[in-house]
Amino acid sequence: MSGSSAEPQGVGVPRPTSGPATDLKRLRWKRRATRGAALLVMVVAVYLGGVGATSLFPTAVQTSHYSAEVRLSALPSFTSTIHSPTSFGDLDLKFTSPLLAPGVDATVQVRDTITELFDDRRISIVAFQPSSKEISDALGSGVTELGLKFTGGVLVVGFGVIALIAYARRRPPTRRQVVSTAVAALVAVGGTGVGVWGTYQPDQLSSFTTTGLLGTVRSNAGLLASVEARAAQVTPYVTNLLALSAALQEKFVPADISTPPAARFLLVSDIHGANQYPLMKRIIDDEKITAVIDSGDLINFGSVTEAELAGIFTSIKNLGVPYIFVRGNHDASSLTDQTLLDRMAKIANVVLLEPTAKTYTEVTVDGVVIAGFNDPRFFGDDSKNIVAKERPAADAFNEAYADRSRPDIVVAHEPSAAKMVESATLLINGHLHKDEVDGNRIGVGTFTGGGIVSHFVNQQSLVPETGDQPGELTGQPYAFDIADYGDGCDLTSLTRYTFRNLIQGRPAYDSVGVINGKTIATREAGERTCGTALGVSRTTVTLGG
């Protein structure tokens, strides 16, 4: 047949990959990408120019007794943070927000007028503490001036770049260049303004951290009073700066953190045979603690005798509050050793969360529900396959609680065991001798520095004469936490303390940090009420029961 061999149109014929239309399209996309990148670079450049202007020309704000130089910071470590360095420690307020905001650096000084109060010899924290209105007024005027300086820096850098480009090319700037610079300036100023406004709000605060002598926060009323008295004797400036710390907390810390709690739990771990219970008793009295939660390793070698000789059991009895306990890997000498648990069970205020294998005590303290389980390991364990060894204990606990409401707190000794818990609003563990927060899990530091099994950090130091690096051993600091629960049974705050020294029988804190509880744990939905009127109750939970 004639013409039957003709090929179908378009079959087997490759489409053209180039041509005038295709090349033009690619050129357009390339130009758009180049302009977008140039705009992004310009936004970053003018933003840094604005931040730089606030650093070169800091804004002065003041209250009745304080003045401060305020500047913005582009350092990533200070993003969404108000940082205030002082001679006696630093104040850091960290905020969590979907928006990014430059850090705010405020260098605080005492005004000359404070001398009159010093001479009056009637120094008190109330006298120094600026009111919330004073802080608001100072912030209002400071933010306006800071914004103007930032905007000025943005414009100077933006149009300075245009001028340099025009000078280099020996021709006036194009309309596109002017428009691009104006857009970059608007993005930098507008984005920064929205970020600052949306971030630095009380409900966005994630933590309030103080170091040095300023580690004494306002919530520690008993301790603060004694520090105030000593500060008045030594140097009034310490008292002054404590007042500023208190005022900043009042301004920025959310109201539910500052409200008196329905229940306060002292979190301790890894006592390791060191009888520091007189100190613990003082903390309980000063901080009005409801109950102590100990996540294990009360002793060193699995022998009850060492605790008896140290007077630990008598000291626990004298604390005057419930002592909630799970066994650690140093609290038994074999897989079947129950000696420590049997001895602890004889102390009236002790609550064993797993008194016998696979039998659990769920304790409710002022409405807060607490559960937990023992470490299956023991002193002398080979420390191999730890996760596998912890698995049966965690599985048994999960099975026992499978059909029960989620506890507010679940306590285990080792972090690997705590991570296996399937249902808990808040997890607590010890073992590592260091404080940490990982999601809804709190790792509690060692209350005694670890006793004779203290972990040491090898700090290398160069000897000039020989060039050797022998290293310096530095033990773990003492550490404990206080968890506050509100009337609605939510974790409102976690206050973290570390210290190495005692003064007149009280801790001289190296640092104190207050973490917003809602950033750590959120309980199940539903109306609940917690408070001191509810007292302490216990429920026995058995595996398969």
Question: Which CATH number belongs to the domain containing residue 288 in this structure?
Answer: 3.60.21.10
| pLDDT 10s digits, 265-322 | 999 999 999 999 999 998 999 889 999 999 999 999 999 999 999 999 999 999 999 9
Residue 232 lies in a domain: no
**Quick one: pLDDT at residue 233?**
40
pLDDT at position 88: 58
Number of domains in the chain: 2
Do residues 284 and 156 share a domain? no
Cα(106)–Cα(88) distance, integer angstroms: 15
Beta bridge partners of 324: 293, 351
Q: What contacts 193, CB < 8 A, 6 or more positions away?
A: 147
User: For the chain, how are helix, strand and coil distributed in percent, rounded to 5?
Assistant: 40, 25, 35
The angle subtended at Cα 365 by Cα 362 and Cα 366, nearest 5°, is: 140
Residue 11 has pLDDT above 90, yes or no: no
SS3 104: strand
Domain annotation covers residue 433: yes
| Amino acid identity for residue 229 in this structure | A
Residue 418 located in a structural domain: yes
Domain limit, last residue, from 150, 169, 200: 200
Average pLDDT over residues 447-451: 87
279/157 same-domain check:
no
Instruction: Please check whether residues 274 and 357 belong to one and the same domain.
Output: yes
Residues 193 and 276 in one domain: no
Per-residue DSSP letters for 267-333? EE---TT---HHHHHHHHHHHT-SEEEE-S--SSSS-HHHHHHHTHHHHHHTT-S-EEE---TTS-S
Residues 171 and 298 grouped into a single domain: no
The pLDDT of residue 248 is: 57
User: What is the reported pLDDT for 155?
Assistant: 92
318 and 393 co-located in one domain = yes
Domain limits for position 411: 265-449+477-542
**Tokens 């009420």 appear where?**
529
Tokens of 416: 């690997």
Distance in angstroms (rounded) separating the CA atoms of residues 300 and 298? 7
Q: Which one-letter amino acid corresponds to residue 316?
A: I
The amino acid sitting at 358 is K
443/354 Cα distance (integer angstroms): 20
CA distance 146 to 157: 17
User: Given a cut of 60, is residue 113 above it in pLDDT?
Assistant: no
475 Ramachandran zone, left/alpha/beta (phi>0; psi -120 to 50)? beta
| Structural domain includes residue 246 | no
- 127 and 49 together in one domain: yes
92-104: per-residue pLDDT in tens? Answer: 888 888 888 898 8
Note whether 295 and 430 are within 8 A (CB): yes
Q: Which residues partner with 437 through β-bridges?
A: 442
Q: Looking at 166, 183, 200, which one is the last position of a domain?
A: 200
